[in-house]
Amino acid sequence: MAETHSFRQRLLAGDRLVGTFLKTPTSHGTEIVAGVGYDFVVIDQEHAPFDRTTTDIALMAARGCNIPALVRVSGPDTILSVLDCGATGMLIPHVASAAYAREVAAMCRYKGRRGFATSTRAGGYTAVPMWQHIRASDDAVTVIAQIEDPEALDEIDAIAAVDGIDSLFIGRGDLTAAFGDETPNPAAVRQAVEKIAAAARRANKPVSVYVGGRPDAEWLQGQGATTFIFNSDQGFLRQAAMKGLAEMRDLLG
């Protein structure tokens, strides 16, 4: 799987990457997004009804379509199963301390605290020799820390410096809710974005973000973001449904 194994190298090199969230627990969204030409998908266990079986199916589809698939895990307890199922990497929510960043980075790699097995999809169902699998997996797995808690800002340089954390993802939604400022484009959130982006630059780590459209993307690209999660399968479905309905209402009067 040359494409999936090169994802971490592309991310670390600062390539401009565009992916999307998958919220619907089927294989179809993965196949459609891969066919359109996105660089990667993010299976969302945290805020969508993916369980181990449906995550496994989506990851199997990603392998079949040769598109890198990250998983936003619901918590650290699901990291091992997701990696065994063949995920390209993790988007880890609520990384609010350097200690937790070190913990989850270690859980994602065999030369850390990941439990060993080659009887999995990731291990080729025992087809891959032990040390070949260990080296290849540790080199390929991508670990992105989601920074979305105000307390994380106090440790942001230490979090960014953690070995094994490959990128910082700026969680503007949770930060906005946490600051409690209902005004559009709150100043505290903009300042947090700037602080996280600056810490990533000092640590030579790429910045990852979610964007809903071009204005967001332009601003965040100016802050140094290179990896963009754009919308979701549900978002695309709703937008297309609204557009189609409007066209039909206009036609039918």
Burial class of 84 by CB neighbour count within 10 A (0 to 12, 13 to 18, 19+): buried
Tell me the three state secondary structure of residue 68: coil
Distance between CA 245 and CA 28 in Å, rounded?
23
Which residue in 28, 47, 94, 133 is the catalytic one? 47
Q: Give the C-alpha separation, 143 to 84, whole Å.
A: 15
Distance CA 229, CA 51 (A): 21
Buried b (16+ CB within 10 A) or exposed e, 24-43: bbebebbbebbeeebbbbbb
Is 5 an annotated catalytic residue? no
C-beta of residue 119 within 8 angstroms of C-beta of residue 85: no
Please answer whether residues 11 and 142 qualify as being in contact, where contact means their C-beta atoms are separated by less than 8 angstroms: yes
DSSP symbols for 161-194: T-TT--EEEE-HHHHHHHHT--SSS-HHHHHHHH
d(CA 169, CA 207): 6
Q: Which residues of 150-175 are buried (b: 16+ CB within 10 A; e: fewer)?
A: eebbebbebbbbbebbbbbbbbbebb
Q: Of 223, 214, 77, 72, which is closest to residue 148 (Cα–Cα)?
A: 72
Q: Which position has the token pair 């699901």?
A: 78
Which amino acids are annotated catalytic?
47
